[in-house]
Structure 1
């Protein structure tokens, strides 16, 4: 076996040091995307040596942490034995299936906040940063999918500081990211502070990423539906998306937003040109159309998942929207894809 040459003392001194904390049920994609860009940008010639930067997985103990997909990764060192870092990266994931950040993890985050380190929350890692009390006065990026979870868990948070329509937010020594592929974009933005742009671009190309997205790039929204600008309408849309299977009544929607039904209807009409019920119906129809072409689930199953009483109900609404039945829609779209697949 060939051994890597040991990096010189000067190279070591220039390294950017990343400490990575994996929360229970963390998202593997968010973690792997972030660390893989560090790896590729850190060295030349596909050697993967930690020359330009180093990364260490730290935890309360060396017991493996389980990702949401079931894969387990063991920390390399404990909080007590970890050295200092330039960036402390907290990677979150599922919110409702198991324990959240431990008290030891929160203490480690608070201690890092008292140093010169920049704190990075990826996916739901921002929830842990909030629990640790290190986000006061900072803007925070939250995935649109977890926006309402955040508001419910932190009712005292300044909603003017919450950003749910951007991939990530950099605010001084706090960086927060919506998760998924955006973790690569965050890693690129951080590395561009310290290394040449050509190095970062090469790493992105190796990952088959054309170019890193800027922090102001929008988060994806349901196809065909543009996000609104008024905060109350935005929150209403987020609630609709999170309750597709069991749609909230207009009264309940207004109650959660602390507005009257009449005010909510007026805001929706001004912002979207549709009533709340019509907008919510369109969200559910769009989701059903996506499931029809991206899965082999039955029409009845899709109808239930998207908040329709049965397949007949979905069929009636589908014909109003697309002028054809769900079955015909599925067959036509699958046939249109067949020539392209055959050519591969």
Structure 2
């Protein structure tokens, strides 16, 4: 075998499954990172990596923005790929992939081929029963929906992506390039990763520990621990967590978390958390017909009376008056 043959044999190989109404930007950033890592500069040769868009037909697949992509391969033997990446898109798309493709993914899982959910592709893998016992990362935008649909799965939305043994998940958007760069570094080289990022005009790939760019309650901070805590608070206005649990989830003691919040947000974590719960209550008051006691319990208050007192003190009007004004 020549050195060139050996390089081809060791190529990083990735198969893509595109859902109906898939997110074009996430797919494009992932595959372009592979393309640029595969060769020198912008030559685009498939020297160190190869990729295929898999499908059981050659029909065009429409993305959520309307641009269509044609499959380049059938549902071939999955073990020829290092990873199979499922690119999701609009959650209101019925049957995002067909039954034959679902069976293909189950076959790949049975043969120990790592599966990655990109954007809402994680929903597709979870629907197929392929994310059990694995940690899941989704966008903050989809966290509540994922938790409602898959209450038995562990999910977080304060990270960009996660590679958990034989499963991966990625929040989507620009983090698709970060996850692809991580895989390139693992399977090809740091030099290949650097070439891809430089051509893409990306200064540095973010790691899977990087916090999703989100500023709940418009609190500005460049501290990733505080930003992660804010996102976790926002996603736990119903099934509330204690401040010690919150601190532990971001790698701090309760005392350290309280000092961090007082320094950066000028408020205690308990007060900030209460603001999140009250904002959720305002949404429920104006967008649902749930009773006051139902809303109070849902956002972590023990009684409707206690909820009403805190709400009135914060917003200058009772929950009932706010609801009545919205109806007029």
Q: TM-score, normalised by structure 1?
A: 0.68
Q: In structure 1, list runs of 5 or more residues that go unmatched.
A: 1-6, 267-273, 280-307, 310-344
Q: Deviation at 1:21? A: 0.5
Question: Which position in structure 2 is the counterpart of 1:31?
Answer: 27
Answer whether contact 1:120 1:175 (CA < 8 A) is retained: yes
Paired residues for 1:134-283 under 5 Å? 134-155=130-151, 157-158=152-153, 161-222=154-215, 224-225=218-219, 227=230, 229-230=232-233, 232-233=236-237, 240=280, 247=287, 253-254=295-296, 259-260=300-301, 262=303
Taking the aligned partners of 1:94 and 1:115, their CA distance within structure 2 comes to 29
Taking the aligned partners of 2:24 and 2:128, their CA distance within structure 1 comes to 23
Q: Deviation at 1:220? A: 1.9
Residue 117 of structure 1 pairs with residue 121 of structure 2: no
| Change beyond 3 A, Cα 1:195–1:261 | same
Taking the aligned partners of 2:187 and 2:77, their CA distance within structure 1 comes to 26
Answer whether contact 1:66 1:72 (CA < 8 A) is retained: yes
Cα deviation 1:276-301 (Å, max 9, x = unaligned): 9969xxxxxxxxxxxxxxxxxxxxxx
| Change beyond 3 A, Cα 1:233–1:88 | same
- Cα RMSD, aligned residues only: 3.6
Cα deviation 1:35-73 (Å, max 9, x = unaligned): 000000001142211111100000121111110000010
| Change beyond 3 A, Cα 1:84–1:262 | farther
Q: Deviation at 1:134? A: 1.4
Q: In structure 2, list runs of 5 or more residues that go unmatched.
A: 220-226, 241-275, 316-324
Residue 88 of structure 1 pairs with residue 70 of structure 2: no
Q: In the alignment, which of 17, 36, 39 is matched to residue 40 of structure 1?
A: 36
Residue 107 of structure 1 pairs with residue 100 of structure 2: no
Count how many residue pairs are aligned between Structure 1 and Structure 2.
Answer: 267
Question: Which position in structure 1 is the counterpart of 2:57?
Answer: 61
SS at match of 1:99: coil
Taking the aligned partners of 1:171 and 1:46, their CA distance within structure 2 comes to 32
SS at match of 2:237: helix
Answer whether contact 2:19 2:97 (CA < 8 A) is retained: yes
| Change beyond 3 A, Cα 1:262–1:36 | farther
